[in-house]
Amino acid sequence: MRWPRFPRRRAASPKAEAVAPEAESEAEPAAPYARERRGMVATQLEARGVRDPEVLAAFRTVPRHAFVDEPDPYGDHALPVGSGQTISQPYVVARMTSAARPPGGWTDANVLEIGTGSGYQAALLAEMGARVTSIERHAALADEARRRLAEHGYGERVEVLVGDGTQGWPAKAPYQSVMVTAGGPSVPQPLLEQLDRSGGRLVMPVGDRHHQFLTLVERYESELTSTELEPVVFVPLIGRFGVPEG
Residues carrying an active site annotation: 88
Give alpha helix (H) positions in 62-217. Answer: 90-99, 120-127, 139-151, 189-193
User: What three-state secondary structure class fits 125?
Assistant: helix
CB-facing half-sphere around the CA of 123: CA atoms within 13 A: 25
The kind and range of the H/E element at 104 are: none
Measure the CA angle with vertex 215, ends 213 and 221; round to 5°: 160
Q: Which long-range contacts (CB under 8 A, 24 or more apart) does 2-8 make?
A: 2/189, 3/189, 3/192, 3/222, 3/224, 4/224, 6/217, 6/223, 6/224, 6/225, 6/226, 7/225, 7/226, 8/225, 8/226, 8/227, 8/228
Element (H, E) at 19: none
Pairing relation of β-strands 158-162 and 177-180?
A: unpaired
Question: What residues pair up with 198 in beta bridges, in sequence order?
Answer: 220
